[in-house]
Chains A and B, each alone.
Chain A
Amino acid sequence: MDTRIDFYPTHQHGSYKLRPGRAFPFGSTLVPGGVNFSISSGHATACTLVLFEKGAPEPFVEIPFPDAFRIGNVWCMVVFDLDYERIEYGYRMDGPWDPGAGHRFDRSKILLDPYAKAISGRTQWGKHPDWNDIYPQRARLVFEDFDWEDDRPLETPLADLVIYELHTRSFTAHPSADVKHPGTYAGIAAKIPYLKELGVNCVELMPIFEFDEFENSRANPLTGEMMFNYWGYSTVGFFAPKAGFAATGPFGMEVDELKNLIKELHRNGIEVMLDVVFNHTAEGNENGPTLSFRGIDNQTFYMLTPEGYYYNFSGCGNTLNCNSPVVRNMVLDSLRYWAAEYHIDGFRFDLASILGRAPSGAPLPNPPLLESLAFDPVLAKCKLIAEAWDAGGLYQVGSFPAYGRWAEWNGKYRDDIRRFLKGDDGMVPVMAERIQGSPDLYGWNERGPTASINFITCHDGFTLYDLFAYNDKHNEANGEQNRDGGNDNHSWNCGVEGETDDAQVNALRQRMIRNALAILLVSHGVPMLLMGDELGRSQRGNNNTYCHDNELNWLDWTLRERNGDLFHFTRKMIALRHAHPLLRTGEFFGTRRSPADIIWHGTQAWKADWSADSRALAFMLRERQAGQGGNATPVLYMAINSFWDALPFELPELPADYHWHLFANTSLPAPDDIQEPGQEIPLQENLQSFLVGGRAVVILIGRPRPQA
């Protein structure tokens, strides 16, 4: 291509040689001898390309797109002989300033390309930017020459995943992480052996699209410490990785560093899922900054009231107009880009219900964006997971438009397991639903248990340790007089609010944590763990740590030694899941295609107590055997006692050649609380019932007797 003679300049601007560009793809693309720039706006009247030397305060040239270079609403131009390693680019858009009609064009602003694949300006985490920069977050050009060798997305069946939700910076920013490049993509790569040992096979990265950690940054009124937009749920660019999460960000190599991380994770059998935020942008409401979308085509990109104000279904000032055909295509282009160019295995959509709203804000019965994503050929093997609610009151757990593809963060699973564990009345029947993969929510419309992403904790809310150490949130450090964060935590402090020396309380907390992990990892559906829950990580009762770049969020790796017992409990529970296909069949128990069924018990075998004051539930999973007249082999028995005192559970009788073996009993102190899968301890002969301690769970494995 380099030597083609038919790709030559036809126009000139000063010393810059130009020719009409290609409309597709949008964004900037390297072409022989130059760079193709393409950008669309439905309402702009003219467009100017603005080019900077890297980091220079003023542009070195501004090139208005000649009239002949506009096709439809797209301005496209090839500029030849650019030193593409050293330039940053932006646009000026001419058009009306008429907020009532939804237009906010402002020629004085230099605007970021919505399709920018790399963005400078925040390349070193937390480094104060030049606030007088006329173009603070600038688009850069990206090479797509990464050597993937034979890598591609792993396509692990959804039913087999154990997801680990982590924040890139939090995972290794703590000094105890002892990595060369703390808080970065490279830092995660250094901890792959840890993830492998734990046994998770998918990491879900909290937002890594470029965001501005200084958005709404302010001093903590209590401590004076700087508070950031730390989590990053506020996108600046949908195609660019967060440069400040890369050790090589200051060298402009965040793309390579992230791709290398993904390649390394894949090499170790670990998928990569991205938490993506398409519901709003970093531009806020009418008082926010004009960075990109607002100045390029406000009326197209945002949901606006009839008066031209911003709808706020996201709780963050604006709402991306996802079902406008133009924005829909941008979302699709972004996801395709991450799947194809970064080999991403799946996506979790923040406040996904917004993606099902019409430009007027009304929920759509058949949202075109969700349908497009579900049937897109590039995304065909990607996992699609919805946070099936939004901040505007739409709650769609169990009813999110799924098209046979979409899974959901099962918020009801989280709430019901919490309420059962802390001992609420009337929870036994609903527990049975949750353990089975929530057939009450997903047993229709051809959805299976893998529609349910099961979690008890996630980045929003308490950590698992705090869930059993705090009755109430303690968010004073967020500087909003403890008003922020959810109040429906369904938590229980086990008798003392916060840290205590009381050995009994601490032992109870450890038991409650293990009960939760055991239920999570045995439940049908797809389990998700929150970073550090396997180590007893605490946020000191803060259930909304979105703004803290400190120990509240950072994983303290000394917990690996201090809470090694809990780590091993979690590791062995994950190993149990991997060892037993019946725990992850992808089909509801007892349905035609299922290789397994489930039998409910209570303290009496074969007879569960579903009454409102029951706090005990047991079940047995059996493997169905084809052609044996309905015979089934018992594989696993679990007894869950959420009553405060010990209860005897009558054990179901096994076939003559089978025997129960003890895998886990959370009322025993470590290391006797759990065994390695396959090395369970045989129960004594003819044991009729098992005494399950108060607030404890027991897991037994049915195996043939060893041959005498």
Chain B
Amino acid sequence: MSLSTSVEMKGREAWITLAGELDAAVAGEFRQAIEQVAEQKPEKLVLFVSGLQFMASAGLRVLVFAKQQMGREVSIYVVGASGPVLNTLQMSGFDQSVYLQESYP
């Protein structure tokens, strides 16, 4: 199963919905989506990940990249993370750099 990515600007918020498996092979797609929305200078980045089954190191690296690209003042929300994706975020400590939420807004 591959990754599906959809990007949407909601005012000053960038919404990205991810579904499938975020591994090294497809992390580039995610990264492109981040770069695309970064140009819009959003105030918030909201990632909907309830359809994501798995996230490898490469996916995490893109989140780190997003944080760096957009700066500390942009808050990142990760919405609907569960199972292995939630574990990955927690064990790597990234859960402290983002807002983990079950639903949004």
Contacts and interface: CB of A to CB of B under 8 A. Distances in A.
A253 B55 CA distance: 11
Interface string A336-360: 0000000000000000000000000
B44 interface: no
Interface in A418-436: none
B2 interface: no
Interface of B: 24-25, 27, 55-58, 60-61, 64-65, 67-68, 87-88, 90-94, 97
B91 A248 contact: yes
B57 A147 contact: no
Contact of A259 (B68, B87, B93): B93
Interface hub of B55, B91, B94 (most chain A Cβ within 10 A)? B91
A256 B68 contact: no
Nearest to A253: B57
Contacts of A256: 57, 60, 91-94
A246 B88 CA distance: 11
Given A145-B68, A147-B67, A147-B97, A85 B61 contact: yes
Given A83-B24, A85-B27, A145-B64, A260 B92 contact: yes
B93 A147 contact: yes
A247 B88 CA distance: 9
Contacts of B64: 143, 145-147
The 10 A-B residue pairs whose C-beta atoms are closest, nearest first, are A260-B93, A85-B24, A256-B92, A85-B58, A252-B57, A186-B91, A86-B24, A253-B57, A145-B64, A251-B56
A260 B91 CA distance: 7
Contacts of B57: 85, 248, 251-253, 256
A264 B87 CA distance: 16
A210 B87 CA distance: 23
Contacts of A145: 61, 64-65, 68
Contacts, number: 63
A256 B87 CA distance: 13
A177 to B, nearest CB: 16
7 contacts: A85-B61, A86-B25, A186-B90, A251-B55, A252-B56, A259-B93, A260-B93
A233 to B, nearest CB: 26
Nearest to A247: B91
Nearest to A252: B57
Interface in A249-266: 251-253, 256-257, 259-260, 263-264
Contacts of A147: 64, 67, 93-94, 97
B92 A253 contact: yes
B56 to A, nearest CB: 5
A22 interface: no
A540 interface: no
Interface of A: 54, 83, 85-86, 143, 145-147, 180-181, 185-186, 246-248, 251-253, 256-257, 259-260, 263-264
Contacts of A248: 57, 87-88, 91-92
Contacts of B27: 85
Nearest to A185: B91
A146 B61 CA distance: 9
Given A83-B24, A85-B61, A145-B64, A181 B93 contact: no
Contacts of B88: 248, 251, 253
B87 A253 contact: no
Interface hub of B55, B58, B93, B94 (most chain A Cβ within 10 A)? B93
A143 B91 contact: no
Given A85-B27, A85-B61, A145-B61, A181 B56 contact: no
Contacts of A247: 87, 91
A256 B90 CA distance: 10
Contacts of B60: 253, 256
A185 B64 CA distance: 21
A180 B84 CA distance: 12
Nearest to B55: A251
A485 B25 CA distance: 49
A138 to B, nearest CB: 15
A526 B65 CA distance: 42
A253 B24 CA distance: 12
A36 to B, nearest CB: 18
A257 B24 contact: no
A645 B92 CA distance: 56
A180 B87 CA distance: 9
Nearest to A148: B93
Contacts of A186: 90-91
Given A83-B24, A85-B24, A85-B61, A264 B56 contact: no
Nearest to A83: B24
A257 B92 CA distance: 5
Contacts of B68: 145
A286 to B, nearest CB: 38
B58 to A, nearest CB: 4
Contacts of A83: 24
Contacts of B65: 145
Contacts of A259: 93
B91 A253 contact: yes
Given A86-B25, A253-B91, A256-B93, 19 more contacts: A85-B24, A85-B61, A143-B61, A145-B68, A146-B93, A147-B67, A181-B87, A185-B91, A186-B91, A248-B87, A251-B56, A251-B57, A251-B88, A253-B60, A253-B88, A253-B92, A256-B57, A256-B94, A260-B93
A118 B49 CA distance: 28
A181 B84 CA distance: 12
Contacts of B55: 251
